[in-house]
Amino acid sequence: MAHGVRPAIAGYTYDNYYDGLALSDTEGERMAKIPGDADVLFLGDHGVITAAPTVAQAFDDLYFVERAAQAQMPDSKVRYTAQYLVPQSMLLRVLKLTLR
């Protein structure tokens, strides 16, 4: 199993590996291999990717992930506590790449 990747459970998997900006095809290729049989891939520090045989099915999966998130955070005043902080060295690396 790849670094930072949790196995798929009930059609969902999670990738906690973050290496800054995806400036080459290798990052896309790496992420494409992760889901396996899962339909939903949660990207640590980034977002969600859905994959399905049709766009309608992928949208349906994404819609219900969004609705579940809204149900868990119904009040926008709820304070979010970060469980993981991106290291300062990574922040500086991304900053340098962004300001090119």
- In this prediction, residues 42-63 reach a mean pLDDT of 88
Q: pLDDT per residue over 21-41, tens digit each? A: 677 788 878 888 888 888 898
pLDDT at residue 18 above 70? no
In one-letter notation, the amino acid at residue 76 is S
Contact 27/55 with Cβ under 8 angstroms?
no
pLDDT at residue 85 above 80? no
Angle at 70 between CA 11 and CA 75, to 5 degrees: 150
pLDDT of residue 80: 61
pLDDT at residue 44 above 60? yes
- In this prediction, residues 76-84 reach a mean pLDDT of 61
- Nearby residues of 61 by Cβ (< 8 Å), 6 or more positions away: 11, 39, 40, 50, 52
> Computed from CA positions of residues 27, 33, 39, 43, in that sequence, does the dihedral angle turn out positive or negative?
negative
